[in-house]
C-alpha cells in the first residue's frame, strides 16, 4: 500500500490525459508544495458533491495519480501546474481529511480483457472518428486525420477523455476493469453522443449555447 495525498475535483482525470490546475486553497498549496519537494504524484478523485472547495467533499474511492510537469509560482504561494494522469488507484483507507485528504491506496493494472482486441479497436476508432467529425462540425471545422494509440487501454482512455459527458459517466469508464470492456461501453456512448451532436447541427444550435469544449487531441483539423 502507498500513501497518497488526494485532490477531489469535479473533473475525472484519466491515464494519459493532461490536467491544468490553479492551486489557491491553503490545504492544496501545502499538498502541491510537498509533491514538488518529494517528486511524488498526488491523486485526483472525483468529488461526488461537485464542490471542490470547502469542507463538504465526497471523494470517489477510485482515481488516477497526477504527475506534475510545468509549474508557475504565483503570489501568495499559489501555483499554476500542468499534470498528466498516470496510474489508476483504489482508495483502501482514508488516513486524514486535514490539512488535505490522504489515503492508503492500491494501484490497479491495465488488463486488456477477453475478446478480439484488433477488431474492437478498429470499430471503436471508426465510431470515434464519426463522433469527432460531428463534434468539430459545431466549431465549423473538419477532421483531416487522427492518430489512434496502438494499445487498447490507451485508445479507451483517449475516447473517454474526449467524450463530452458528465463526471459520473467518466468515473464509470475509469473504473471499468479491462480495456476491451471499456471500449465496448464507449461504443454505445459514441453512438448516442454522435446522434445528439448531429441533431444539434441540423437544428443550428450555437456552439457557445451548449456545454461543449474544443477537443485537444492528436487530431488534425481544418476550417471550412
Per-residue confidence band for 208, with pLDDT thresholds at 50, 70 and 90 = low
Where are the chain's structural domains? 2-108, 117-223
Topology (CATH level 3) of domain 2-108: 2.30.130
CA angle, residues 98, 109, 126, in degrees to nearest 5: 110
Helix (H, G, I), strand (E, B) or coil at 74: coil
pLDDT in the model for residue 132: 92
* Residue 221 confidence (pLDDT) above 70: no
What is the C-alpha to C-alpha distance for residues 140 and 133, in angstroms, rounded to an integer?
10
SS (H, E, C) 161-223: HHCCCCHHHHHHHHHCCCHHHHHHHHHHHHHHHHHHHHHHHHCCCCHHHCCCCCCCCCEEEEE
- State pLDDT tens for residues 134-184: 988 888 888 877 889 999 999 999 999 999 999 999 999 999 999 999 999
pTM of the predicted protein model: 0.89
Mean pLDDT of 80-89: 96
Beta-bridged to residue 108, according to DSSP, are: 88
* Contact indicator for 46, 173 with CB cutoff of 8 Å: no
Q: Which of 206, 214, 220, 4 is nearest to 103 (CA)?
A: 4
Say if residue 123's pLDDT is above 50.
yes
The CA distance from 124 to 186, in Å, is 8
pLDDT at 201 (0 to 100) = 85
Convert the pLDDT of each residue in 51-83 to its tens digit.
666 667 889 999 999 999 999 999 999 999 999
Q: For position 207, what pLDDT does the model report?
A: 62
Does the pLDDT value for residue 187 go beyond 80? yes
Cell numbers standing for residue 22: 490553479
**117-223, which class in CATH?**
mainly alpha
pLDDT range class, residue 126, cuts 50, 70, 90? very high
Q: Name the region of 115 (left: φ>0; alpha: ψ -120 to 50; beta: rest).
A: left
Question: How many helices, marked H, and strands, marked E, lie in the chain?
Answer: 5, 8
Give pLDDT, residue 223: 33
Give me the chain's average pLDDT, please.
89
Contact (Cβ atoms closer than 8 angstroms) between residue 161 and residue 188: no
Least confident of 6-20, 43-57, 101-115, 145-159: 43-57
Amino acid at each position: 500500500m502507498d500513501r497518497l495525498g488526494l485532490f477531489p475535483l469535479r473533473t475525472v482525470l484519466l491515464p494519459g490525459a493532461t490536467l491544468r490546475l490553479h492551486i489557491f486553497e491553503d490545504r492544496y498549496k501545502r499538498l502541491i508544495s510537498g509533491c514538488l519537494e518529494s517528486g511524488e504524484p498526488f491523486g485526483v478523485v472525483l468529488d461526488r458533491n461537485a464542490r471542490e472547495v470547502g469542507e463538504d467533499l465526497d471523494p470517489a474511492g477510485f482515481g488516477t495519480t497526477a504527475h506534475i510537469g510545468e509549474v508557475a509560482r504565483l503570489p501568495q504561494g499559489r501555483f499554476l501546474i500542468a499534470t498528466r494522469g498516470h496510474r489508476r488507484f483504489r482508495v483502501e483507507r482514508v488516513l486524514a481529511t486535514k490539512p488535505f485528504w490522504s489515503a492508503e491506496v492500491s494501484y490497479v493494472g491495465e488488463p486488456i480483457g477477453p475478446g478480439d482486441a484488433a477488431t474492437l479497436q478498429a470499430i471503436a476508432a471508426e465510431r470515434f472518428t464519426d463522433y469527432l467529425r460531428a463534434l468539430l462540425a459545431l466549431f465549423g471545422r473538419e477532421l483531416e486525420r487522427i492518430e489512434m494509440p496502438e494499445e487498447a487501454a490507451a485508445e479507451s482512455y483517449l475516447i473517454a477523455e474526449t467524450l463530452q459527458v458528465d463526471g459520473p459517466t467518466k468515473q464509470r469508464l475509469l473504473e471499468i476493469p479491462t480495456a476491451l470492456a471499456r471500449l465496448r461501453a464507449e461504443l454505445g456512448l459514441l453512438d448516442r453522443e454522435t446522434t445528439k451532436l448531429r441533431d444539434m447541427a441540423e437544428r443550428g444550435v450555437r456552439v457557445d449555447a451548449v456545454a461543449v469544449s474544443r477537443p485537444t487531441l492528436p487530431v488534425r483539423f481544418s476550417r471550412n
